[in-house]
Amino acid sequence: MSSVSHRENLLAVIRGETVDRLPWVPRIDLWFNAQEIRGTMPKQFAGMSVEDIHRSLGWPLHKMIPEFSRPEKPEDATHRAIGLYNLKEYPHIFEFSSDVDIKVTPDGRDGAEMMRVDYRTPVGDVSVVHGFTPEMKKSGASISWVKEHAIKGPDDYKVLAHIFGNLTIKPHYERFEKWRDEIGDDGIAVGQGLGIACASPMHFIQKNFLDATEFYIHHHDYPKQMAELLEALEGVYDQLLDVLSGVDMDAILWAANVDDMITYPALYAEYFQPWCQKAADILKPNGVAMVCHPDGENRGLMELLTDSGMDVADAVTPYPMTKVRIEDYYDQWCRPGHLTIHGGIPELLLLDKSSTREDLEDYMDSLFKNIAPGTRFIASIGDTTPPDADFDRLLYIGDRIEKEGKLPLAAGGHPSISPAGLEAAKQAVTPKPTSKPGPKTTKETISGMNLEKAFEQITNDVLEGEEEDILVHAQELLDQGYSAPDILNKGMLPAMDVIGARFADGTVFIPEVLLSARAMNEGLKLLEPHLATSNVKRGGRVLICTVLGDLHDIGKNMVVSMMRGTGFEVIDMGVNIDTETIVRQVREHRPDILGLSALLTTTMPQMQEVIDALAKAGLRDGLKVMVGGAPVNQMYADQIGADGYARDAGETVTWAKGLTLG
């Protein structure tokens, strides 16, 4: 009797069928890259490829994500910073129009592999800088860092609109089919959409042309310019779908890195969901499973993703790394038959520095209970096996699934969920609706208002992100003789407390926070000269950075915005900051708080190095050190001697106030 292949088994799970046991498909490519570069590959895997390791252990191949770091030719990733790849996992290629002149300038200074790419067109020029630092290579990073984005101002939109309005998308089925056949029955060869699985034209702009936080400022300030580029990209997406409709593939990764922190529900519903559904309507009749990659916080997107035509949620990363528990994901997505989870095991459970072996054992115990009966679940790591992972923990997970993963799961006797129970699960992960931020259509004046109403208007200006209105209203109060400290303490700061609380409970998202913080900061600039002469005690001075080897700045930028908005003086050192520089800056600025951020597990040890160096330099006494970032937790903060740990920007402000006031 012939056995069922890995490919057939995985496709059956995606269709909602009950297979023999839970599939176990860990992602190990970044771990593998790091071991190769460091020369630390375990002896039993010496000379093997990622695929060899999977096959030797009996694991299906994990082919959800392209091998970005292994293009057939270096130039196949040249245009990554404007969202274009030419890789085997893409069933299409792209061609620029003849009036786009491209110049590539390599930059290998300090051991980096960077490049500057200039795009010259009849309507103007844009440039980008991207590549890999030595620290990135050691961490196993596969996607280059965009040091300089294409959009630096509103005039750049028309240049990109010209480039993409004249871009041609063509089939390259043979290359894709060759790769698909190499994967064979050992896994699912997942095709790719545009860029790094950008779900729609707006998603493409957000992921490729701007810093993630800067995007929301542009979305608010430059709607006409953005609309011109959107129109050009819509033509590209129509070409893409026409090409994809002719390829023979099992699945496509259509929407990557969607979460309620960055893409946020209102933006997703208006600009992403229609294109997800359009792609699903075209591709699903051909037997193509639609894959999304929601690897972050997802409370606000749970229902939207089920209504987008998606079949698989890859890299699902539940509590304790994010706020949604695996049972809530399963109850809302899998149990009703909406989505198949591909993930579910947080990567920090593979790290000695963030968790104990007992933590992993306890998690696996609860996993088998919470996802019973186990249909529509493919066990994997959310998001990926980190470079410093204890590989034996991966083997342990595989052993547990082999012994206890036979379906249907009965462990714990999980009851069938009732309609009322499903609605309760939905409410547990769905925040209250929030409207998309935008400019007000009417202008208020505080003339004639009583004092309480006037301060309330100041509060509303901050809450609504009205940076122009707050200047007018705050100046009116100053002109009427009201003190700057009262305007700050009774009008502005209460708004940021509200925003922080709403952000923490998931009823507002990054755009609202950024726009409110901008309005707050504009108001502070106006009040600053008056506050300087009134001996007002501010929140304290904060020095903040992302540590050496880490180039992620979304979370750090959020913290900077919220802390400035709540009265702290913040000095932002940026990303990839070495220990010597941090110590020098602490000595120079004498901050009350030092904030250290890391998103990569490989850069977490830099936090310990910084704390030790500060102590050696005699700068630790009186300095509060706070740490944060996705792989960091309280256990690690305690191990390295940090004074505080926070999971997000709102929590950071709360902790900072406690550290400075307590």
Cβ proximity of 597 and 556 under 8 Å: yes
Q: How confident is the model at residue 446 (pLDDT cuts 50, 70, 90)?
A: low
pLDDT at 412 over 80: no
pLDDT of residue 631: 85
Mean pLDDT calculated for residue range 626-632:
90
**Nearest CA among 291, 231, 240 for reference residue 84:** 240
Q: How far apart are CA 118 and CA 99, in angstroms?
A: 13
Q: Give the C-alpha separation, 662 to 650, whole Å.
A: 18
Confidence at 430, pLDDT banded by 50, 70, 90: very low
Q: How far is CA 423 from the centre of its chain?
A: 28
Confidence of residue 491 (pLDDT cuts 50, 70, 90): very high
Query: In degrees, to the nearest 5, what angle opens at C-alpha 537 toward C-alphas 534 and 540?
Result: 135
Per-residue model confidence as pLDDT tens digits over 510-543: 888 889 989 998 998 899 888 877 666 567 899 9
Residue 432 has pLDDT above 70, yes or no: no
Structure tokens at 448: 């004639």
The answer, yes or no, to whether the previous bond of 383 is cis (omega within 30 of 0) is: yes
Rounded Cα distance between 593 and 595, Å, is 6
Give Cβ neighbours of residue 315 (< 8 Å, ≥ 6 apart). Answer: 27, 64, 293, 294, 295, 342, 343, 380, 381, 382, 383, 384
- Average pLDDT score, the chain: 90
Q: What is the pLDDT of residue 538?
A: 65
Hey, which residues does 381 pair with through a beta bridge?
A: 345
Over residues 188-199, mean pLDDT: 96
Please give the domain boundaries of the chain with CATH numbers for all domains.
1-64+250-257+266-431 (no CATH), 451-532 (1.10.1240.10), 541-661 (3.40.50.280)
Give the pLDDT score at 263.
82
- Mean of the pLDDT values across residues 134-149? 86
Output the pLDDT for position 440: 39
Give tens-digit pLDDT for 548-606. Answer: 988 888 888 888 888 887 778 899 999 999 999 999 999 999 999 999 999 888 888 99
Nearest to 576 by CA among 599, 557, 550: 550
As given in the structure block, the two tokens for residue 390 are 């204890």
Mean pLDDT score, 410-428: 47
φ, ψ dihedrals at 63, nearest 5°: -130, 35
Which DSSP state fits 643? S
Q: Residue 21 half-sphere exposure, CB side, CA atoms within 13 Å?
A: 11
pLDDT of 418: 46
Residue 535 confidence (pLDDT): 63
For residues 62 and 183, give the distance between their C-alpha atoms in angstroms, rounded to a whole number: 10
Q: What are the tens digits of pLDDT across the range 282-337?
A: 999 999 999 999 988 888 899 999 999 999 999 999 999 988 999 999 999 999 99
Instruction: For 115-170, give the secondary structure using H, E and C.
Output: EEEEEEECCEEEEEEEEECHHHHHCCCCCCEEEECCCCCCCHHHHHHHHHHCCEEE
* Tokens (6 digits) for 153: 């101002």
In this predicted structure, what is the pLDDT of residue 436?
46
Structure tokens at 166: 């004249």
Give residue 4's pLDDT: 94
- 536-539, Cβ contacts within 8 angstroms, sequence gap of 24 or more: 536/484, 536/485, 536/488, 538/567, 538/568, 538/569, 539/563, 539/566, 539/567, 539/568, 539/569, 539/656, 539/657, 539/660
Q: Which of 489, 485, 458, 452 is nearest to 472 (CA)?
A: 458
3-state secondary structure of 279: helix
Task: Please report which confidence band the pLDDT of residue 426 belongs to, taking 50, 70 and 90 as the band edges.
Answer: very low
Q: Quick one: pLDDT band at residue 437, thresholds 50, 70, 90?
A: very low
Token pair, residue 650, equals 């709102």
Phi, psi at 363, each rounded to 5°: -65, -45
Residue pLDDT, tens place only, 151-162: 999 999 999 999
What is the reported pTM? Answer: 0.89
- What's the CA gap between 346 and 64, in Å, rounded? 17
Are 166 and 97 within 8 A, CB to CB? Answer: yes
Both structure tokens of 315? 């890299």
Q: Assign 441 a pLDDT band (cuts: 50, 70, 90).
A: very low
Q: Residue 447 — very low, low, confident or very high, per pLDDT cuts 50/70/90?
A: low
Strand pairing category for 168-171 and 92-95: antiparallel
pLDDT tens track for 72-128: 998 999 999 999 999 999 999 999 999 999 999 999 888 889 999 999 999 999 999
